Structure 1
């Protein structure tokens, strides 16, 4: 939903009975029309999956593929989309995926193609040599049944694509064809396969192969190419076809990003309810969008990544108003064919999301330190205590200040150091990072600086407010050449001096799969748990999964579970990929900014003018 109006956000439209995805179960008490509609949609998706399977099977099972192709060659007809090949199999699989997501454009394409196919096959039945084969009647019946299922389930396919998709698909097709023809013609010329052919003949040969994958020898008899050249041209043609499909069916990019009025309203909600969730302040990232409840008492901060509408943490505001924000958010996901998911929901938030049809999976725990109960005494804290005193004896000191108490020149120096200490690594953070440092609007954030005996800065931490008496870790930076233990020293100093800021609780790093490492190391752990722990330990060599858990366990925190909420188990790979992209672990190639803006007239830059995150939580 866009920026707030003078009287708050408008109420979402009433839900329609047919506002469902094709793969959603039919609820009890549904009318006969609902059953027919959803049954037709489910059959259409199942048919496309079967066609994809048979096509791919024909590609690896030679005798079956030859039988299908022989039927077609002998004036016989196979059902719609069954042509025995990898290309048609991938095409059918793509249509099955887009149809399962309720894409209206995919429904229109299937109705158009299958309608032409059924009409052509029906007219061909007028010829004795065609209607004399029983297989053709089976093909006609199956294809007609698929077309009827599409028409019956038309209301289930309402997911809209981006308005620029048709123009973008045409542009990709024209530009891609020109590139493929130019490269293919150059290969044909370089291999000396067309010594007696003119340039027009070589271009015609390449164009015919790019468009139809046929040899084009009839139109260019003087061109004879090596087999590998044809393979290269066919490969470029297949890649171009996939790019055109992606451009035609891509999901919308999402609504307008967080604006000043939305941000002001969110800050007002955080003042009243910000103490409920340590991740609440991160909803103020300016690369997120906001969905408001009709009463404006609750909101969901989310971002659309790769067709996944990814919310972070719990909804902001009054828990009684959370359903009013969750329902329009889920409805928007259905309307655009997005996959809904929530990263880092608390147990309370996960319970509310589960009531709206989402499942929950525990993905880790958040380390929360109660400052009043923290101490360095006892055998369990011996290692931490020794490291703390060692750094302190070396002359290191810690300065703790609110951002609003730091001058502009000092903050500029802090930003320069934070960027330099990052060492050129990619920016990361989405659900547990603010995405900026030193913004005047974030004056209540806390900066912790660690300096050596000579007063030179060596490490820094920044925390965002967590209600009135809490802080939540945003970023950590330290000079690579400095002594070990500076981050731990700064954290302990903040905890010991928390009374100066009125801080009673401190949210530190998030430890993924913390319970696996803890329970898997205990006596009596089962074989599955030990195997799972071994796999996570292996991957920790690259992703620091176990080290994050160990680094936080030393503070003896209270562990708060966090959950990933999702609709279907089959969506988890897609959600995982979108989450990795949002957090900055995976980067995707992007067009230059002018081209992106040209593809979306009037749209704002997706970065929303915000600086990128300078830390990993």
Structure 2
């Protein structure tokens, strides 16, 4: 949901005031604040005034999201601006701008209700105390190494006063025989003072946090919804331990999400009865509004995308999900030649695949240990299409596919999660790279072959980001813009598996189902993209 226009306009006006303050300090006279704030202890009075303008620009983002803390800080900065402008040379123009901003904020205070991080003030105080402590220690040491250049023999308490006053931009009692010594101490103490103030502001303006996870009672309710309304192939992934749930008032639907930074990131479709989706979406968006979080949805289907759009979110196609109908799957035909050859090559090498429900397995510990050993790196990636656990005792309906070499060692593991009462969604895919190619293809084919006995008629494979770009770029007559976009994505594929996932899925000739990314406005896309990459563990 977009912020109200009036609140957006307020944020823009505050930012414009901050930009005006910065520009005024870039023009002569350059040191207007020097009449009231001595240069000693600050980088310069000009830099201090410009910092206030930058702070107003920074506060604009919090004001746009309705954060109460940003409102309080904006009132303080605007009020201080009036005093400063009048104190040096009666700068009526500057005072009028600050007064206008103050009146604007006070007159619209009821629009800023988003709560911040409950522990933010404590964390801000601790951070400021740490920086002030470090600055005090370094300032005292800097005076000590220049003690022979001090005028007279001032006591240590005067040293301490000089450092502390320097951090707030005031002259201290010490006098140096050489101006360079005084300037060096002023730069050090002023830098730490400004740094402490900046860190304190950033900490105070951090969005509220929420501990991820759901209670055992919520998990039981969620499983009941998945049994009754399990049409989304990503629905089972709502049972991840790092996802929270917001329910519709009737309890017939829920939105699974995780707060990443300032973004509340939902994944897949809402869980439950589609008729109850709107109240669940409304509850989730109201929670985002209350905390000043940016709402975003990663990987929802078309029906859910339309539901989110009715609440004001925009949607763009993120990629496509590969879905196979097991009733028509066959290895025959020219198009399946590469898969058929891979499966036969693995079989000739003595590998065998088994397919079992988790509840029927007795060697789960061995499979889990093998899957962990074959993980590529220490980070468990995934958020929207990953369960983040293997062979869990509560996941009795999951299907585990193992591939063993002739000596009985596990060389590959697949885990599928339930999709309704007749489907599976690929969750985990691990293979021993030293075992040669074709392990994954053999396990996928084994799962598809065993599907009828398991009562499975549909299988969802990996999600291919920007699949249509790669597919259309390969077609005859693809335009230069499309080919350029395809080349850019291929460069990105060196770091993230974009093209390789598409090619790996395409070989099975699946049906492609589009998935969408929903977000409030284009200006939020960079923040949403970073949150999605962090949630999927592609960024720390």
State the TM-score, normalizing by the size of structure 2: 0.91
Which of 143, 148, 151 is residue 195 of structure 1 equivalent to?
148
2: CA distance between counterparts of 1:555 and 1:86? Answer: 60
Answer yes or no: is 1:586 the counterpart of 2:539: yes
Partner of 1:521: 474
Deviation at 1:153, TM superposition (A): 1.5
Deviation at 1:271, TM superposition (A): 0.4
Deviation at 1:362, TM superposition (A): 0.8
Deviation at 1:227, TM superposition (A): 6.9
What pairs up with 1:353-368 in 2 under 5 angstroms?
Answer: 353-368=308-323
Partner of 1:13: none
Answer yes or no: is 1:98 the counterpart of 2:62: yes
Which of 63, 67, 73 is residue 28 of structure 2 equivalent to?
67
Change (3 A) 1:230 1:424: farther
2: CA distance between counterparts of 1:53 and 1:524? Answer: 48
Change (3 A) 1:202 1:417: farther
Change (3 A) 1:87 1:441: same
Deviation at 1:142, TM superposition (A): 2.5
Answer yes or no: is 1:242 the counterpart of 2:198: yes
Which of 196, 200, 222 is residue 266 of structure 1 equivalent to?
222
Q: SS state of the match for residue 542, structure 1?
A: coil
Answer yes or no: is 1:371 the counterpart of 2:330: no
Change (3 A) 1:196 1:140: closer
Deviation at 1:203, TM superposition (A): 4.2
Note the residue ranges of structure 2 that are not aligned, 5 or more in a row. 37-44
Partner of 2:74: 110
Deviation at 1:353, TM superposition (A): 0.3
Note the residue ranges of structure 1 that are not aligned, 5 or more in a row. 1-19, 26-37, 59-63, 76-80, 131-135, 588-617
1:54/1:82 contact within 8 Å kept: no
Change (3 A) 1:483 1:65: same
Answer yes or no: is 1:548 the counterpart of 2:501: yes
1: CA distance between counterparts of 2:27 and 2:48? Answer: 8
Partner of 1:4: none
Change (3 A) 1:352 1:488: same
Answer yes or no: is 1:210 the counterpart of 2:190: no
Which of 400, 408, 419 is residue 466 of structure 1 equivalent to?
419
Partner of 1:175: 130
2: CA distance between counterparts of 1:575 and 1:218? Answer: 51
What is the CA deviation profile of residues 561-584 of structure 1, one whole-angstrom value per residue up to 9, with x for unaligned ones? 111100011111111111111111
Deviation at 1:137, TM superposition (A): 3.5
Partner of 2:39: none
1:259/1:286 contact within 8 Å kept: no
Deviation at 1:152, TM superposition (A): 2.2
Q: SS state of the match for residue 543, structure 1?
A: coil
1: CA distance between counterparts of 2:366 and 2:116? Answer: 45
Partner of 1:614: none
Answer yes or no: is 1:48 the counterpart of 2:28: no
1:114/1:143 contact within 8 Å kept: yes
State the TM-score, normalizing by the size of structure 1: 0.80
1:82/1:88 contact within 8 Å kept: no
Which of 536, 544, 565 is residue 489 of structure 2 equivalent to?
536
Answer yes or no: is 1:483 the counterpart of 2:436: yes
Paired residue total: 528
Q: SS state of the match for residue 324, structure 2?
A: strand
Which of 310, 332, 335 is residue 290 of structure 2 equivalent to?
335
What pairs up with 1:126-525 in 2 under 5 angstroms?
Answer: 130=90, 136-187=91-142, 189=144, 192-197=145-150, 200=157, 202-212=159-169, 216=171, 218-221=173-176, 224-225=180-181, 234-254=190-210, 257-274=213-230, 276-407=231-362, 410-525=363-478
What is the CA deviation profile of residues 366-411 of structure 1, one whole-angstrom value per residue up to 9, with x for unaligned ones? 111111121112211111111111111111110111111122xx22
Deviation at 1:150, TM superposition (A): 1.0
